[in-house]
Amino acid sequence: MMRRRPIRGRDTADPEGVDRIESYRPALDSWLAHLSFERRLAARSVSAYGTDLEGHFGWLADRGCPLTEVGTGEIEAWLTSLYKAGYRASSRARRVAALRSFYGFAVRGGLVRRDPAESLPGPRQGRRLPRVLTVDEARRLVTAPAGDAPPARRDRAMLELMYGLGLRVSELLELTLDRLDLESLFIRVVGKGSRERVLPLGGASAHALSAWLVDGREAMLRKGGPAPPTIFINQRGGRLSRMGFWKILKGHARDAGVERDLHPHTLRHSFATHMLEGGADLRVVQELLGHASITTTQIYTQVDRDYLREVHRSFHPRA
């Protein structure tokens, strides 16, 4: 069973209010189970969508509106209240996506007769181009871990894989030994929606990974304790967390002199951009990144065009 989460934004001292909110709970739990077990979304995404819908149901409960009577007007009024409260367009867009998914599910399951979110337009969002490193910044960053100590070997291997394969941080931290083939230089990665892709290891990635597995990982494992299946571990011999990787990345970025607005996804953005700048086909980059739609990959062509424009302006005498 899925754990029941508390509804936020409500006065729990008001029994009648709690009862009204809890009337939406069976539908919400069914939808969250659908997202987890049928659509196989990541736990973080399911939690975020659940929080969004709890806010929506709390708003409906305050107005005494049961689920079967929700119309487009109620949904638009709720979204308007979010706008007035200062929610960013990206936050409102996520809530629109949650509403569309939930009410579509509710119609198919017979929980409501009509879909009040069917024709709901999403808020317009400015398209922000991803932050990318220069080739020199990327080189300095991945070579920043110095020495032959086990932590340094681990960090070099992680950074080489992140930049060399364009991995998401979740994909990196979930890599297991049984998905690695160092002899053939391939690794199997499980991405969003549990979609699997097989990626080739480059020379630098393979060398760093081999050095970590041969001379580093065993030394960091807990003596006598169970070894985690993941390739990368922390200094206590357990699984490395997202926060742990973030701290490692920040530390090496400082050492490399790369400190401006750096986050784990920056390495993935840089991988895609540098591949396209080098002449790689867009479809190949889409496959390597594991994008379901090429539209998602196309944003990097805009980054490439901006880079060309910047170079042109910098070096052409009449630019």
* Model pLDDT, residue 224: 63
> 84 an active-site residue?
no
Neighbours of 117 (CB within 10 A): 20
Catalytic residue among 20, 92, 154, 268: 268
> 103 an active-site residue?
no
* Model pLDDT, residue 7: 35
- Mean pLDDT of the 205-227 span: 87
Across the chain, what does the average pLDDT equal? 84
Catalytic residue among 5, 192, 207, 239: 192
pTM of the complete model: 0.62
Catalytic residue among 34, 188, 239, 265: 265
**In terms of residues, how long is the chain?**
319
pLDDT in tens, 222-261: 766 788 899 999 988 889 999 999 999 999 999 999 876 7
CA 87 from chain center: how many Å? 21
* Model pLDDT, residue 131: 82
pLDDT of 17 over the 50 cut: no
pLDDT in tens, 145-181: 999 999 999 999 999 999 999 999 999 999 999 999 9
| CATH numeric code, 135-315 | 1.10.443.10
> 268 an active-site residue?
yes
* Model pLDDT, residue 276: 87
**Six-digit token string for 118:** 């069917």
> 34 an active-site residue?
no
* Model pLDDT, residue 279: 86
Catalytic residue among 188, 239, 263, 291: 291
> 24 an active-site residue?
no
> 263 an active-site residue?
no
Q: Which of 22, 20, 28 is nearest to 2 (CA)?
A: 28
pLDDT in tens, 271-284: 999 998 888 888 88
Reported CATH class of domain 15-108: mainly alpha
Catalytic residue among 20, 95, 168, 274: 168
pLDDT in tens, 69-94: 999 999 999 999 998 899 888 788 88
Place of tokens 């929506």: 56
The share of the chain scoring above pLDDT 70, in percent, equals 84
Q: What is the C-alpha to C-alpha distance for residues 287 and 24, in angstroms, rounded to an integer?
A: 40
* Structural domain boundaries in the chain: 15-108, 135-315
Q: Over the chain, what HEC string results?
A: CCCCCCCCCCCCCCHHHHHHHHCCHHHHHHHHHHHHHHCCCCHHHHHHHHHHHHHHHHHHHHCCCCHHHCCHHHHHHHHHHHHHCCCCHHHHHHHHHHHHHHHHHHHHCCCCCCCCCCCCCCCCCCCCCCCCCCHHHHHHHHCCCCCCCHHHHHHHHHHHHHHHHCCCHHHHHCCEHHHEECCCCEEEEECHHHCEEEEECCHHHHHHHHHHHHHCHHHHCCCCCCCCCECCECCCCCECCHHHHHHHHHHHHHHHCCCCCCCHHHHHHHHHHHHHHCCCCHHHHHHHHCCCCHHHHCHHHHHHHHHHHHHHHHHCCCC
